[in-house]
Structure 1
């Protein structure tokens, strides 16, 4: 969502019905704010945002409010604080030029990334990871490397959140136009097959993070057989549109802490070859954890002194090989497409989840974590976790018996949730070329996470922002224009 604080943002409903631009960027999100800002150095650019602006909302702008926002709408993936680059291996696999990637990351980081910081609970998580063998200690580090580290943060020292929308403060305001509540329904082609214009419907809905393959399908780019089901004219047959959809499954445990903890989200991370361990603290996280919803029934007045706060530890599957697909549900862009991720359909993915659950046991037993977990089930803990009996010993959270493969595998399947790292559907080599042009439609590009075959790094956000800058610079260079340096502003 695009900034009203720094930039002249207008409601699309007040604008002329027809206007011409050299570039139109659909969506004011993670990649395209960076892309539009870069292109505006030399070209007339229109940036269309389907929603409004986030500024003035403390639940978005303040670190204290992030969990409340997610409780209201747990589908909203935008409120992450963690910043981490893609690995060097992923950069090579994507065919990107490392020097240009590094320059694009620096451009992003100069504008919105701050050194990560953490309090007592995150410190305990960090120490526990190191004590259980997730080494080396990489300290404060934005790179994706094995071991334990503290990532960069989109929150500054005062707890204010920066976002990709802030890139617009560096755009050329004479060449960039930003329209909000402009939901692109489809891309219109003329009789010769060339792109003619985009059709906008005025809407205040936000269907989610899977819009690129959906928009291509609605525009007649995809499987002609599938498009015929909705009477959509097939302009370009690309059967891979909507294919190879992947999400990184997350499994988490709620930890009831008898010791006060700070409000924190994903500051410390442990990176293993099979899984990633992160955690947050300071609020009731049970709303997003199937099987842990008992916490929702504990009213604040019933939270006795031995129940100070809750926290969570999650394991995210780093590189799932269970693939799914996306198909249309309707010709209305406001209707979410049908998406099937086929979580844990491949047995290797289940094996990796079980490895992550075993890591939970080790973390909870680590010396550094002892002040932050119950070792004996109290009456309150027993009332929350019906599986536990008062007086018995406990790990501090409800966990399956990892010696029982069937039980643990079922736990992985029944407690999985998304971490909103969707990718695929418009992958490089199948839907777009290495310049991110859609095959068969030279002027049209897709620049976002739907082009990835793997979610990059610990969190894809950094790399999606980098990609917007990277592709923008690439376009300028192709047209023999030198982009402005990373250490300068407009």
Structure 2
């Protein structure tokens, strides 16, 4: 019989997250650490910027898509990046693999690089609030999109440019991880459980078991989207941190089909509360890259959204666009965590098993300090934390098909919107979860994981779980569905809210508004595969190249 160990709910949730074939020699060699990143030369605290200035492109959000987009556009045009958070550089917890858990555990709603929020489903979540965005707080796994993604996303992709964009990213910030005991055991356990073939190391999406890329290098140093600013033209770009954009400025413009609204700039505030206006030049654009939470929120606060809803908030309606904030998805995560009888290395996600039924099986490991809660289960509170080696095995489903929505909690942009994801509302998602958790059971029963079991009083060996164990009878559909619902958590892969075909067109332009685009995960209504990070990084570069080519055609 497995023996559970009691732990606090929030820590358990965090523990469960350890969240053309590119050949090995095409990844960049490990570079010596730089004393100072090059972007510091053109980075400013927003208080240093003028009260009004003009640019060709204003990018709202210096995150996973915003940084590569800005770096690309700066080679031809004057670019301003407005990032509401600070800088990860110099912050040990952000910049090192070992600080991943600490960063998420210290997430709060107001000041931390990881902004905490809890969905109406009751699931704690987080969003990046730092230059580099969520690429500066995530688990670093890197894998290109499932080829099916390009057919289902509603975008007419130029796959040659897609591949060039991936390679541009990978040369700078992607590395091959080194597997140690837990990750090696998971790789072998997945193969024993029938998740085959073994694909070795690859950055491509491949059914079977593989080693993916990592944005942590061999020294454990994190590389983020901000590192891609090394490609920028310094004389053409400004990056403002602690710059909170409050709304997009719109004005009427004449067009062939009549009068239309056009984005002419943004209003933002610095840390002292002073207002600034950033305005676009002729043919310029405002581009929202504030993420699946921030971009739909900004559209609503700017008067772009469902007319009755905006009117109920007293927000002047600039353009009726009924699907802003709708079609919001989050991939549910379920799994188990165990303490181990043997030493355990620190590892984030390095190996993935991709099943034919659409489940992704991943794992991580860490040494966790367990301290007693205020109302301790112990008679006496230990004088020092107890350090336990903890290993995690989880599954994420393909999709999902269940979708939710976002609505304002306040007209203050600093207050996170109210979000509901409706996990497992669609029974197909629930069935996929059951299939995935059964596969976790198969891996746990593999010979490869026997060294992670304890010997019990009767001489048998079993796992000791942190939090819930899988149902003993995994053939029982009702019990497995109950496990999925009861243990659902997030893997931080939420997307949608400004979906292509509903809010933006195939070139990511906001429908019915000139000079305004949304380029980030909010425009994606289909999950790109194992992890969206690679796809969103590619997207920033891809759209930047497309914009440059569009303008070149206009001037011919």
Query: Normalising by structure 1, what TM-score?
Result: 0.88
Q: Does 1:111 align with 2:172?
A: yes
Aligned to 1:5: 37
Ranges in structure 2 where 5+ consecutive residues have no aligned partner: 1-34, 108-124, 128-133, 254-260, 274-289
Contact kept in structure 1, 2:296 and 2:498, CA below 8 Å? yes
Aligned to 1:16: 50
User: Any residues of structure 2 matched to 1:99-178 within 5 Å, and which?
Assistant: 99-178=160-239
> Partner of 1:121: helix, strand, or coil?
helix
Aligned to 2:78: 44
Aligned to 1:86: 145
> Partner of 2:63: helix, strand, or coil?
coil
Q: Does 1:313 align with 2:364?
A: no
- Selected match of 1:75 from 102, 121, 126: 126
Aligned to 2:449: 369
Contact kept in structure 1, 2:305 and 2:324, CA below 8 Å? yes
Aligned to 2:11: none
Contact kept in structure 1, 2:142 and 2:213, CA below 8 Å? yes
Aligned to 1:55: 89
- Selected match of 1:428 from 482, 500, 509: 500
1:260 Cα deviation after fit: 0.9
* Deviations 1:277-314, CA, capped at 9 Å, x for gaps: 10110233999xxxxx999x9969685xxx85111111
- Selected match of 1:343 from 423, 426, 447: 423
In structure 2, the CA distance between the partners of 1:468 and 1:115, relative to structure 1 (3 Å rule), is same
Aligned to 2:293: 210
Aligned to 1:453: 525
Aligned to 2:351: 268
Structure number with higher strand proportion: 2
Aligned to 1:283: 367
Aligned to 1:473: 545
Structure 2 CA distance, aligned partners of 1:266 and 1:254?
14
Q: How many pairs align?
A: 458
1:151 Cα deviation after fit: 0.4
Aligned to 1:404: 476
Aligned to 1:33: 67
Aligned to 1:290: none
- Selected match of 1:223 from 293, 301, 306: 306
Contact kept in structure 2, 1:83 and 1:462, CA below 8 Å? yes
Contact kept in structure 2, 1:184 and 1:198, CA below 8 Å? yes
In structure 2, the CA distance between the partners of 1:393 and 1:298, relative to structure 1 (3 Å rule), is farther
Contact kept in structure 1, 2:176 and 2:212, CA below 8 Å? yes
In structure 2, the CA distance between the partners of 1:200 and 1:435, relative to structure 1 (3 Å rule), is same
Contact kept in structure 1, 2:47 and 2:271, CA below 8 Å? no
1:86 Cα deviation after fit: 0.2
Structure 1 CA distance, aligned partners of 2:411 and 2:103?
30
Contact kept in structure 2, 1:9 and 1:180, CA below 8 Å? yes
Q: Aligned Cα RMSD in Å? A: 2.6
* Deviations 1:333-357, CA, capped at 9 Å, x for gaps: 1111111110011111111111112
> Partner of 1:48: helix, strand, or coil?
strand
1:4 Cα deviation after fit: 7.0
Contact kept in structure 2, 1:117 and 1:150, CA below 8 Å? no
Contact kept in structure 2, 1:431 and 1:438, CA below 8 Å? yes
In structure 2, the CA distance between the partners of 1:209 and 1:69, relative to structure 1 (3 Å rule), is farther
1:223 Cα deviation after fit: 0.4
1:92 Cα deviation after fit: 3.0
Ranges in structure 1 where 5+ consecutive residues have no aligned partner: 288-292, 379-389, 482-490
> Partner of 1:264: helix, strand, or coil?
coil
Q: Does 1:183 align with 2:244?
A: yes
Structure 1 CA distance, aligned partners of 2:432 and 2:412?
38
Structure 1 CA distance, aligned partners of 2:489 and 2:438?
18
1:361 Cα deviation after fit: 1.4
1:233 Cα deviation after fit: 1.2
